[in-house]
């Protein structure tokens, strides 16, 4: 049996590191959310006397340590105050005030909406929270006013907190597994040292027997020289044989006890090892499943941004070592917002799924495609330069353009723009991504449904 302990330990360490990294990303997202709620608060402040004190309290609380339990009553009070606005609008008893309506979406509102939307698109969500993130994305897009946007901000904050708590739980669980495995390894090393000690006891028993027999033989030899009488000599020999036989019996008894204890220990250890093997297999399966889920976009059923980041890191390392050409393309669906607005988000989701699947189907086996976020996909062309990748991009663009979408029996034209670039000396994955994104904007500004090289 092979335990592969080192491999497992390093896998757990890797997983703990990954979770710590993700937790740091969530802290950034949380800080962005605080800023966002702060912005929303500033925009909404002054619109309603009844709501202002609640906004001020919430903003003050958010500037300290984010403690969900303490925030909850503040958010509830704010929500209740907003609810109460319909009954007691500012101005009923105040001549100076403007008649109240629910605050309409302003320029601030739409910029808040697009940054909230970008934030939802950018964060990598735990698979079990993906449906909630998706609903939230739709509600952000549908939010008609600042109050609805503020509610979406709250939900995003909840999602971020839940994700952080989830990640912390995963870290704790992994550390518990690590402790468990380390405990088992300690147990085995104790077993090994006990066996070594036991082996020395066995050797010492054997040596003691040798010494006793040799001693008895020496005494017998000496006696044989001194004793002349045959009868007396026979008696002496008998006596020595009896002593030697006692030594052997004593040795056998001690070895018997030692061997029984050894067999029991060995059996216990065999069962422990069997258990460890079963636990290891279960853990391996769940780790592989987690790993796969963490790198899959469940809505489309294709690799997600995390998978892209891992893949591009590996491709980048190999590019540095070999300088084989490496290119990256960013693909963005054109006017996707208007698809959502016209046909609804469910139709928008279906369009994303069909395009994602079409990309998976039409890239070459050596290429890699992932959903980067929102309506943006990303392709890695490993071993292909700009000219070769451009041909594939043009083909992919053509495939998307010719996908037959219909709504109420009317054809709906869906196109995509593509920004492409190749790794150049001094590049990093981030600089190449930024250049591909810039090329994408060139393609969009050039009229969309086209490829541009950056």
Ligand X SMILES: Nc1nc2c(ncn2[C@@H]2O[C@H](COP(=O)(O)OP(=O)(O)OP(=O)(O)O)[C@@H](O)[C@H]2O)c(=O)[nH]1
Q: Applying CB under 6 A, which part among 26-34, 347-355, 360-368, 398-406 lies near ligand X?
A: 347-355
Calpha distance 7→424 (Å, rounded): 35
The answer to the question of residue 336 lying near ligand X (CB under 6 A) is: yes
Supply the DSSP string of 107-149, one letter for each residue.
HHHHHHHHHHHHHHHHS---GGGHHHHHHHHHHHHH--BHHHH
Of the pair 48, 371, the CB lying nearest ligand X is at 371
Which listed residue (297, 367, 375, 437) binds ligand X by CB under 6 A? Answer: 375
Which listed residue (36, 66, 328, 333) binds ligand X by CB under 6 A? Answer: 333
Of the pair 71, 146, the CB lying nearest ligand X is at 146
The answer to the question of residue 440 lying near ligand X (CB under 6 A) is: no
The answer to the question of residue 349 lying near ligand X (CB under 6 A) is: yes
Q: Label residues 400-429 b or e (16+ Cβ within 10 Å = b).
A: beebebeeeeeeeebbbbbbbbbbeeebeb
The answer to the question of residue 335 lying near ligand X (CB under 6 A) is: yes
Of the pair 221, 446, the CB lying nearest ligand X is at 446
CA neighbor of 149 nearest in space, from 159, 162, 168, 136: 136
The answer to the question of residue 367 lying near ligand X (CB under 6 A) is: no
Question: Parallel, antiparallel, or unpaired: how do β-strands 416-422 and 302-303 relate?
Answer: unpaired
The answer to the question of residue 444 lying near ligand X (CB under 6 A) is: yes
Question: Parallel, antiparallel, or unpaired: how do β-strands 376-382 and 326-333 relate?
Answer: antiparallel
Interacting residues with ligand X between 182 and 241 (CB under 6 A)? none
Minimum Å gap between C-beta 290 and ligand X is 23
Which helix (H) or strand (E) segment holds residue 407: the answer is strand 405-407
Calpha distance 344→141 (Å, rounded): 10
> Which pair of structure tokens corresponds to residue 443?
């393609």
The answer to the question of residue 41 lying near ligand X (CB under 6 A) is: no
Minimum Å gap between C-beta 131 and ligand X is 11
Minimum Å gap between C-beta 145 and ligand X is 17
Minimum Å gap between C-beta 349 and ligand X is 5
> Which pair of structure tokens corresponds to residue 372?
């980067």
Residues that contact ligand X, how many (by CB under 6 A): 20
Q: Applying CB under 6 A, which part among 290-298, 311-319, 342-350, 386-394 lies near ligand X?
A: 342-350
424 contacts 319 by C-beta, under 8 angstroms: no
C-alpha dihedral, 124 to 126 to 127 to 132, nearest 10°: -90
Interaction mask 130-149, ligand X, x per CB under 6 A: ----x--x---x--------
CA neighbor of 219 nearest in space, from 204, 239, 199: 239
Interacting residues with ligand X between 102 and 131 (CB under 6 A)? 117, 121
Geometric angle at alpha carbon 209, from 204 and 214, rounded to 5° = 125
Which listed residue (40, 352, 369, 378) binds ligand X by CB under 6 A? Answer: 352
Instruction: Give the nearest residue (CB) to ligand X.
Output: 348
Taking phi over 0 as left and psi of -120 to 50 as alpha, with beta for the rest, 401 belongs to: alpha
Which listed residue (41, 103, 348, 454) binds ligand X by CB under 6 A? Answer: 348
Contact residues: ligand X, CB under 6 A: 117, 121, 134, 137, 141, 332-337, 340, 345, 348-349, 352, 374-375, 444, 448
């Amino acid at each position: 049996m092979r335990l592969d302990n080192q491999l497992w330990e390093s896998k757990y360490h890797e997983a703990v590191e990954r979770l710590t990294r993700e937790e740091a990303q969530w802290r950034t997202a949380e800080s962005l959310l605080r800023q966002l709620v702060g912005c929303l608060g500033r925009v909404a402040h002054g619109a309603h006397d009844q709501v202002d004190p609640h906004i001020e309290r919430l903003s003050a609380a958010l500037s300290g340590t984010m403690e969900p339990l303490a925030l909850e009553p503040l958010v509830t009070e704010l929500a209740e105050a907003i609810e109460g606005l319909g009954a007691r609008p500012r101005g009923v008893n105040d001549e100076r005030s403007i008649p109240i309506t629910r605050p309409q979406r302003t320029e601030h509102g739409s910029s808040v909406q697009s940054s909230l939307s970008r934030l939802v698109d950018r964060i990598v969500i735990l698979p079990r929270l993906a449906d909630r993130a998706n609903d939230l994305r739709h509600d952000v897009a549908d939010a008609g006013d600042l109050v609805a946007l503020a509610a979406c901000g709250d939900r995003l904050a909840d999602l971020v907190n839940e994700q952080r708590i989830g990640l912390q739980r995963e870290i704790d669980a992994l550390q518990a597994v690590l402790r468990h495995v380390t405990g088992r390894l300690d147990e085995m090393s104790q077993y090994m040292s006990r066996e070594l000690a036991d082996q020395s006891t066995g050797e010492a028993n054997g040596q003691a027997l040798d010494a006793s027999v040799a001693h008895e033989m020496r005494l017998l030899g000496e006696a044989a020289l001194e004793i002349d009488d045959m009868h007396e000599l026979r008696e002496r020999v008998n006596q020595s044989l009896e002593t030697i036989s006692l030594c052997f019996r004593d040795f056998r008894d001690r070895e018997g006890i030692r061997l029984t204890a050894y067999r029991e220990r060995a059996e216990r250890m065999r069962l422990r090892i069997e258990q460890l093997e079963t636990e290891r297999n279960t853990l391996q399966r769940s780790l592989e499943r987690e790993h796969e889920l963490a790198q899959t976009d469940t809505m489309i059923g294709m690799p997600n941004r995390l998978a892209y980041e891992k893949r591009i890191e590996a491709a980048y390392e190999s590019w540095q070592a070999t300088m084989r050409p490496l290119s990256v393309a960013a693909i963005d669906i054109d006017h996707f917002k208007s698809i959502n607005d016209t046909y609804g988000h469910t139709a928008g989701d279906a369009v994303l799924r069909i395009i994602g699947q079409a990309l998976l189907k039409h890239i070459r086996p050596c290429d890699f495609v992932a959903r980067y976020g929102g309506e943006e996909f990303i392709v890695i062309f490993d071993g292909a330069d700009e000219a070769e990748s451009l041909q594939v991009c043009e083909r992919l663009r053509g495939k998307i353009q010719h996908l037959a979408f219909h709504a109420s029996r009317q054809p709906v034209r869906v196109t995509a723009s593509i920004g492409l670039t190749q790794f150049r000396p001094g590049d990093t994955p981030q600089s190449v991504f930024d250049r591909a994104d810039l090329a994408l904007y060139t393609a969009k500004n050039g009229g969309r449904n086209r490829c541009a090289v950056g």
